[in-house]
């Protein structure tokens, strides 16, 4: 049985000959063409209830860079740091560095795996105006408490840019896509490995339309006047081919996200004795399934992954190492002790959820997983029994 950890399922260009021929006939391939603008409009209407605007970009990392740079503006002249959790993907820290900031890493909540609120407030109080922007991560597509981040932004006079890379398709308890109606800036990914899978691409969203229009200018070399840069800019535009794929994925995102959420529910049902991320969403856009191994098994994680692979099952450990454990960020970031990140990172195991999987596949993964864990436990017990006993001579 072949059950890879991630099986990309973007729309098939081979089945879009009519759309691609029309694109070729138009002669428009990029520069905010009609397909890109159509996708932005339809996405705003369908996923964000028509509240605010979307900007399609070439990838989510570029989206983070321009959003962080815009957030700094001239309002944070002393801003040195981008406050973010250490338990996140490298893109967030790289984006902060490219925008001229130093990542300031904080610990996470042991239940949600999102940034720990008390740690955020402690660092904000300690560093004050040196924190130029807060970059919370919505872990694995889970929603965040946006009311709290609005309050935090007002209280400390610091902008907030939400890294929501995996959250296109996450529906909160109000039955709205995570981020809907918020004037903060959100960045979502359309990478091939995501639930909203294209080839490569990203979306920046905010209910504050003025922010999106400024970001649109920044994404086109800062050209607010014809061929004349009036602000910081780079080339962040999504191509028309990318928009064709994004439009197709938009048509199926609810079905895809529902299917993946059902697979995640099956995992929770079959593995009730393992810790999982808490969640209050109506539907979380699941890229994969993450569980926490108990400490006695965590030391055997590499062997468990190998045992699953021998049965044709892919597994991994996102995000381990977390940022503060990675060589580049150990020297480029600032951080204190991160005990929860260390613990979650050491115990996390990532199991497959793909569009092609069925409930029976989840059952097969769980059966194999339990068998491998039992084998690891027996081997560990045997080694302990066979370990020679030292006698103490007095």
Contact between 103 and 80 (Cβ < 8 Å):
no
pLDDT digits (tens, 9 = 90+) for 245-261: 999 999 999 999 999 99
Q: pLDDT at position 392, please?
A: 47
Radius of gyration of the chain (CA): 23
Cα(first)–Cα(last) distance of the chain, in Å? 59
Q: pLDDT at position 378, please?
A: 80
Residue holding tokens 């138009």?
A: 26
DSSP string, 162-203: EE-TT-TT-B-TTSSBTTTT-SSEEEEE--TTSSS--SS-EE
Q: Using the predicted structure, report yes or no on whether residue 271 has a pLDDT greater than 90.
A: yes
Token pair for 272: 């009730």
The DSSP output letter for 342 is: H
Q: pLDDT at position 394, please?
A: 43
The DSSP output letter for 277 is: -
Q: Please provide the average confidence, as pLDDT, over all residues in the chain.
A: 95
Q: Nearest CA to 143 among 254, 281, 265? A: 281
Q: pLDDT at position 256, please?
A: 98
Token pair for 103: 């990542």
Give 13-248's CATH code, choosing from 3.40.1210.10, 2.30.30.60, 3.40.50.720, 3.40.640.10: 3.40.640.10
Contact between 107 and 340 (Cβ < 8 Å):
yes
Token pair for 346: 């050491």
* Omega of the bond leading into 195 within 30 degrees of 0 (cis): no
Query: Which part of the chain is CATH 3.90.1150.10?
Result: 253-380
What pTM does this model have?
0.95
Q: Nearest CA to 256 among 365, 140, 180, 353? A: 353
Phi-psi region of 181 (alpha: psi -120 to 50; beta: other; left: phi over 0): left
Contact between 249 and 10 (Cβ < 8 Å):
yes
CA dist list (Å): 289 to 93, 249, 307: 24, 22, 18
pLDDT digits (tens, 9 = 90+) for 159-189: 999 999 999 999 998 899 999 999 999 999 9
The residue ranges of DSSP E strands in the chain, in sequence order, are: 53-57, 81-85, 102-106, 131-134, 161-163, 185-189, 202-206, 223-225, 228-229, 275-276, 289-292, 334-335, 348-351
User: How many percent of the chain have pLDDT more than 70?
Assistant: 95
Chain Cα centroid distance, residue 348: 16
Crossing angle for the helix pair 34-47 and 240-270, to the nearest 10 degrees: 30
CATH topology of domain 253-380: 3.90.1150
Q: Using the predicted structure, report yes or no on whether residue 295 has a pLDDT greater than 60.
A: yes
280: confidence class by pLDDT, cuts 50, 70, 90:
confident
Query: Which part of the chain is CATH 3.40.640.10?
Result: 13-248
Q: Mean pLDDT throughout 261-265?
A: 98
The DSSP output letter for 365 is: H
Q: Nearest CA to 247 among 35, 59, 30? A: 35
pLDDT digits (tens, 9 = 90+) for 197-237: 999 999 999 999 999 999 999 999 999 878 899 999 999 99
How does strand 275-276 pair with strand 202-206?
Answer: unpaired
Token pair for 242: 């990318």
- Side-chain-side CA neighbours of residue 293 (13 Å): 27
Q: Using the predicted structure, report yes or no on whether residue 12 has a pLDDT greater than 70.
A: yes
């Amino acid at each position: 049985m072949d059950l890879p950890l991630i099986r990309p399922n973007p729309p098939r260009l081979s089945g879009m000959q009519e759309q691609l021929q029309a694109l070729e006939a138009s002669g428009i391939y990029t520069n905010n063409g009609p397909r890109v603008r159509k996708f932005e409009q339809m996405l705003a209407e369908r996923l964000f209830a028509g509240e605010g605007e979307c900007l399609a970009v070439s990838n989510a990392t570029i989206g983070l860079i321009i959003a962080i740079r815009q957030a700094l503006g001239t309002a944070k002249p002393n801003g040195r740091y981008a406050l973010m959790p250490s338990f996140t993907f490298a893109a967030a820290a790289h984006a902060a560095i490219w925008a001229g900031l130093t990542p300031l890493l904080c610990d996470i909540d042991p239940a949600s795996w999102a940034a720990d609120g008390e740690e955020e407030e402690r660092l904000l109080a300690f560093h004050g105006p040196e924190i130029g922007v807060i970059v919370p991560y919505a872990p694995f597509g889970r929603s965040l408490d946006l009311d709290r981040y609005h309050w935090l932004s007002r209280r400390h006079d610091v902008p907030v840019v939400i890294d929501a890379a995996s959250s296109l398709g996450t529906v909160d308890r109000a039955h709205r896509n995570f981020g809907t109606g918020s004037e903060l800036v959100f960045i979502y990914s359309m990478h091939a490995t995501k639930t909203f899978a294209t080839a490569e691409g990203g979306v920046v969203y905010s209910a504050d339309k003025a922010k999106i229009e400024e970001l649109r200018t920044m994404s086109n070399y800062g050209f607010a006047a014809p061929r004349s840069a009036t602000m910081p800019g780079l080339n962040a535009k999504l191509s028309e081919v990318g928009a064709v794929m994004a439009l197709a994925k938009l048509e199926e995102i609810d079905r895809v996200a529902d299917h993946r959420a059902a697979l995640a529910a099956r995992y929770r049902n079959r593995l009730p004795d393992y810790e999982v991320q808490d969640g209050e969403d109506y539907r979380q856009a699941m890229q994969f399934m993450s569980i926490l191994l108990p400490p006695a098994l965590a030391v055997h994680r590499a062997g468990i992954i190998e045992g699953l692979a021998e049965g044709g099952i892919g597994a991994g450990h996102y995000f381990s190492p977390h940022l503060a454990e990675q060589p580049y960020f150990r020297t480029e970031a600032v951080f204190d002790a991160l005990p929860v990140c260390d613990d979650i990172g050491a115990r996390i195991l990532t199991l497959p959820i793909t569009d092609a999987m069925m409930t029976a596949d989840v059952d097969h993964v769980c059966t194999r997983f339990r068998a491998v864990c039992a084998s690891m436990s027996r081997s560990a017990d045997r080694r302990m029994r066979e370990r020679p006993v030292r006698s103490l001579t007095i």
